[in-house]
Chain A
Amino acid sequence: MAMRGVAALWWREIIRFVRQRSRLVGAFAQPLLFWVLLGAGFSASLRPPGAPEDLGTMAYFYPGIIGLVLLFTAIFATIAVVEDRKSGFLQGVLVSPISRSGIVLGQALGGTTLAVLQGVLFLALAPLVGITLTPTSVVAVVLVLAAVAFALTSLGLVIAWRMESTQGFHAIMNLILMPIWLLSGAFFPASGAAGWLGWLMQLNPLTYGMAALRHCLYLDAPAAVGRIPPLGPSLVVTLLFCAVTFAAATAVARRSR
Chain B
Amino acid sequence: MIAARPLPASAAPAAAVTITGLTHCYGERLALRGVDLQIARGEIFGVLGPNGGGKTTLFKVLATLVAPQAGTVVVFDEDAGRHPERVRRRLGVVFQHPALDGKLTVDENLHCHAALYGLSAVEGRARAAALRERLGLADRGRDYVETLSGGLARRVELAKGLLHAPDLLLLDEPSTGLDPGARRDFFEYLVHLRDREGLTVVLTTHYMEEAERCDRIGFMHQGGLVAVGTPAALKAEIGGDVVVVDALEPERLRGRIQQRFGCEPRLVDGVLRIELPRGHEFVREVVEAFPGDIRAVTFGKPTLEDVFVHLTGERFWSEMPSPAERA
> Which of A's residues lie within 8 Å of B, judged by CB?
1-2, 4-5, 7-9, 11-12, 15-16, 19-20, 84, 87-89, 91-99, 257
Contact A97 B115 (CB under 8 A): no
Tell me if B52 is interfacial: C-beta within 8 Å of chain A. no
Most B Cβ at <10 Å: residue of A2, A9, A20, A97 = A97
Contact A95 B111 (CB under 8 A): no
Q: Looking at the assembled complex, report how far the CB atom of B60 sits from the nearest CB atom of chain A, in whole angstroms.
A: 10
Q: What residues of A have a CB within 8 angstroms of the CB of B85 in the complex?
A: 97, 99
4 nearest interchain CB pairs?
A8-B115, A1-B118, A92-B99, A96-B116
Within 8 A of A (CB), among B35-87: 63-67, 84-85
Nearest to A91 among chain B residues (CB) is B99
Q: Looking at the assembled complex, report how far the CB atom of A257 sits from the nearest CB atom of chain B, in whole angstroms.
A: 6
Interface size class of B (residues with CB under 8 A): 20 to 34
Q: Given A16-B101, A97-B85, A91 and B118 touching (CB < 8 A)?
A: no
Contact B65 A257 (CB under 8 A): yes
Q: Given A5-B118, A96-B113, A88 and B97 touching (CB < 8 A)?
A: yes
Tell me if B201 is interfacial: C-beta within 8 Å of chain A. no
A-B contact count (CB 8 A): 79
Proximity bits, B73-110, A CB within 8 Å = 1, else 0: 00000000000110011010101011111111000100
Nearest to A103 among chain B residues (CB) is B116
Nearest to B161 among chain A residues (CB) is A92
Contact B120 A4 (CB under 8 A): yes
Whole-angstrom CA separation of A87 from B119 in the bound complex:
24
Q: Looking at the assembled complex, report how far the CB atom of A56 sits from the nearest CB atom of chain B, in whole angstroms.
A: 42
Tell me if B253 is interfacial: C-beta within 8 Å of chain A. no
Q: What residues of A have a CB within 8 angstroms of the CB of B104 in the complex?
A: 12, 15-16
Contact A20 B115 (CB under 8 A): no
Proximity bits, B271-301, A CB within 8 Å = 1, else 0: 0000000000000000000000000000000
Q: Looking at the assembled complex, report how far the CB atom of A110 sits from the nearest CB atom of chain B, in whole angstroms.
A: 12
Q: What residues of B have a CB within 8 angstroms of the CB of A257 in the complex?
A: 64-67, 84
Whole-angstrom CA separation of A98 from B91 in the bound complex:
13
Which one of B63, B88, B100, B119 contacts A89 once the chains associate, using CB atoms below 8 Å? B100
Contact B95 A91 (CB under 8 A): yes
Q: Looking at the assembled complex, report how far the CB atom of A103 sits from the nearest CB atom of chain B, in whole angstroms.
A: 9
Q: Given A87-B102, A89-B101, A97 and B88 touching (CB < 8 A)?
A: yes
Contact B88 A96 (CB under 8 A): yes
Whole-angstrom CA separation of A20 from B93 in the bound complex:
29
Contact B103 A88 (CB under 8 A): no
Q: Given A4-B118, A5-B115, A95 and B93 touching (CB < 8 A)?
A: yes
Q: Given A4-B120, A95-B91, A19 and B112 touching (CB < 8 A)?
A: no
Most B Cβ at <10 Å: residue of A1, A91, A95 = A95
Nearest to B101 among chain A residues (CB) is A89
Q: Looking at the assembled complex, report how far the CB atom of B148 sits from the nearest CB atom of chain A, in whole angstroms.
A: 15
In the complex, 9 of the A-B residue pairs with CB atoms within 8 angstroms, ordered by the A residue number, are: A5-B116, A5-B118, A12-B112, A84-B101, A88-B95, A88-B98, A88-B99, A97-B116, A97-B118
Whole-angstrom CA separation of A58 from B160 in the bound complex:
52
Nearest to A84 among chain B residues (CB) is B101
Contact B66 A12 (CB under 8 A): no
